[in-house]
Structure 1
Amino acid sequence: MPLVAAIASILKKLVYRVIRQFQRNIIFDIALIAVLVWLIAGLSFSLVEGVDVWTGLYWALVTMTTVGYGDIVPSTDAGRVIAMLTIASGIAVYTALVSVAAGTIVEAAERRRQGYIRYRGVRHVVVIGWTPASEAAIRELRGRGYSGDIVLVTEKPAAVMREIDIEGITIVRGDPTRRDTLLRANIPRANMVMVSTNDDAKTVLVVLAVRGLNASARIVAEALHPENVELLHKAGADIVVPTRDLGGRMLAASLLEPGAAMFVENISRSEERPIELHEMPAGPYAGRRYIDVLLELRRKGMTPVAIRRQGRLIPNPDDDMVIERNDVLVVVVPSMPAEEPGHNQMQQMLQREEPGAEKA
């Protein structure tokens, strides 16, 4: 008995909460009015016309919806008066119900478009801040075949909607330094987070907040000034890209070493890239020397240039370095359109993981 009483109490509280939620919605009020009109009209018709209650309720519903089958008609003056009132009230109630329902749907769609939503997905990519760098990053993700959800957190969604033409982007509007905004983007369940705010101080605050909510996500941050790179690492960023410093170095390299600059330019083009950088698991080559793996992959059209080992990058490895099972090879491959015959074979060899599947 105590168990039954406890279950009944829980169900009672649940029903009460559901009713309270509905009562806050005007649709519930209109629906309640419609039910009352239906019951009153049906019972009144059954009393006046001398039919059973079920027939009266059936007639009331058919009349309120203006279907009018004609199988049941009033035969008394009182019945005709009830019919006229039922038709008028039915049209008014259903018109109001449809109008409010349509308005609610449109309002919900507009709120989603404006970013006033709470994202419910998991293992997604969150991009915080709308800057030229973040826009380019989103386009690169889609260009590399990433098909997962991308959530963009920004304070100015109107600017994003005017400029962006990328499909499958969910916008969350709000201040990214506030915990509530990050929770609405479901940061605790995100797989990877990129932060680009055009303000290093703000970026540090955001990285700190993100790391506090998610200890396992890969966080990549943009640093406008090289002196802030170490600070962002201490805040919790796994990878920091000093974009302005990197751009300045590239400009200088273009003057002094144009070949190196041309190489970087080729892999950074948004379209018609002759070469690309990719990662591939080194497990199949575990126990072999780097030089032997390099020669084998060169025959397949790929050139390994670095090894990522336990979160550390080893560029231009020694010839005799032994490949370990958990290593990841960074390789240069020719850009190959999907329609070319060798594209699928190249993708199979790379066995590329989704971004963020493994934290660096």
Structure 2
Amino acid sequence: MPNRVYISFLRLPLPVRILMFALLVFLTFGISIHLLEPETFPTVFDGIWWAIITASTVGYGDYVPHSMFGRITAVILILLGVGFVSAYFGTLAAAAVTKQDAFSEGKIPFKGEGHIIIIGWNERSRELITKLINSRYPQMIVLIDETLESTPVHSRFVHFIQGKAHVDETILKSDIERAEKVLITADRGNDELQADMNSILTLLTIKGLCSQVKCIVEILTAEQVINALRAGADEVIQSNKLTSVFMVNSLHSNGDGLLSDFVHHLQESRLSARITHEDDIGKPFIDVCHQFLTKGILLLGIKRGEETFLNPSRSFEIEKDDLLLIFR
């Protein structure tokens, strides 16, 4: 039994063990000084108070031993107690610095729910994180990257985890089961095909650990889109395709930059989808569009299953489970 208690004590954190030793010293010397000089220290509490004040070198002077044995006890307490007090606060400071360094270096697991996980540090993820943490209602973000040595964003809304995203241990540190969404960005430092393979491998790892979490994957090559969907991607972003759309628009326009202006408004999260109300079912598109216009909202189109109808005909009827694409 004593051996078990000793082993359990050794397993306690070092600051806790030092604090327990310090409390034992205060208690022992507090009782001792009360027994040696009961007139100067009427109660045990007075003795413990004196022991704490003396060991911490504060020395109020409200209680002072007068006998020889009392003063010898005080000297021993000063020599012994100051060491414990200094060791305790020194250990706390060292632990705090170590904890902060581990947090900055991405070694601390994240605990929370409803957070967004972003995999890969690049210009796109940097801009995205900046917009998310500066929004009106910022959401907690977990950034996972293997190339960074420390967190690139110093914000209380960003938790950095250093490691390979296709390794189970790294993903589990992000509390994946309670995450809201995962965004896997492509590593443009690699060959495009290799970057897509790494993204799909990361997607397989995440879906294998938590199949219900929504995953958005950036794919560079058109041939790998189908593989990303097979791997369980809920949404695939073809960034190269989007870039080509901008280029074609710029070539065919007169330099007015209309598409860029439109995308700028989209960055402000003004585009959203709303579930169809029962009152709207069976109504033509033009009637529902007029209803939104009275509220200062523009109805752009309808998403029905896998199909999206932008600016459909006026007689296009709204059906149950349709998503209304609105622009505020």
TM (norm. structure 2) is: 0.83
Pair 70,213 (structure 1): closer, same or farther in 2 beyond 3 Å: same
- Cα–Cα, structure 1 residues 18 and 238, in superposed 2: closer, same or farther, change >3 Å? farther
Tell me which of 10, 13, 16 is aligned to 1:28. Answer: 16
5+ residue gaps, structure 2: 188-194
- Determine the structure 1 residue equivalent to 2:288: 293
- Match for residue 273 of structure 2 among 272, 275, 279: 279
Q: Cα distance, 1:122 vs. partner?
A: 0.9
Work out whether residues 130 and 160 of structure 1, in 8 Å CA contact, stay in contact via their aligned partners in 2: no
Q: 1:34 to 1:231 in 2, by over 3 A?
A: same
- Shift of the alpha carbon at 1:143? 5.7
Task: Provide, for residues 250-290 of structure 1, a one-character-per-residue CA deviation record: whole Å limited to 9, x for no partner.
Answer: 2123212568x9343113338997x9433333325333111
**Aligned residue for 1:156?**
147
Query: Which residue identity does 2:75 align to in structure 1?
Result: M
Query: Does structure 1 retain, via aligned residues, the 8 Å contact 2:133–2:139?
Result: no
Distance 1:50 1:320 in 2: 99
What is the CA deviation profile of residues 303-349 of structure 1, one whole-angstrom value per residue up to 9, with x for unaligned ones?
3222223454333334333223432221234xxxxxxxxxxxxxxxx
Instruction: Tell me the CA shift for residue 192 of structure 1.
Output: 0.9
Question: Whose helix fraction is larger, Structure 1's or Structure 2's?
Answer: 1
Relative distance call for 1:83 and 1:286 in structure 2 (3 A) is same
**Stretches (4+) displaced over 6 A:** 15-18, 270-273
2:67 partner letter: T
Selected match of 1:176 from 165, 171, 185: 165
Partner of 1:252: 248
1:277/1:166 CA distance change after superposition, 3 Å: farther
SS at match of 1:269: helix
Q: Which residue of 2 aligns with 1:103?
A: 94
Contact 1:267/1:276, CA 8 A, preserved across alignment = no
Q: Does 1:37 align with 2:25?
A: yes
Q: Which amino acid aligns with 1:176?
A: A
Once the two structures are overlaid, the 10-residue window that deviates more, 227-236 or 289-298, is 289-298
Aligned to 2:192: none
In the superposition, relative to structure 1, how do residues 280 and 232 fare at CA in structure 2: closer, same or farther (>3 Å)? same
Distance in 1 between the 2:124 and 2:87 partners?
A: 48
Deviations 1:169-211 (A, max 9, x none): 1112211111111111011111111101311111001111111
Aligned residues: 314
Letter in 2 for 1:280: R
* 1:233 aligned partner, one-letter code: L
Amino acid at match of 2:180: N
User: Are 2:243 and 1:235 aligned?
Assistant: no
Amino acid at match of 2:178: R
TM-score (norm 1): 0.76
8 Å contact from structure 2 (residues 132, 139) kept in 1: no
2:321 to 323, 326, 333: 326
Q: Distance in 2 between matches of 1:29 and 1:189?
A: 35
Counterparts in 2 of 1:168-207, with a 5 A limit? 168-198=157-187, 199-207=195-203
Identical-pair percentage: 27
Q: Which amino acid aligns with 2:169?
A: D
Tell me by how many angstroms 1:151 deviates. Answer: 1.2
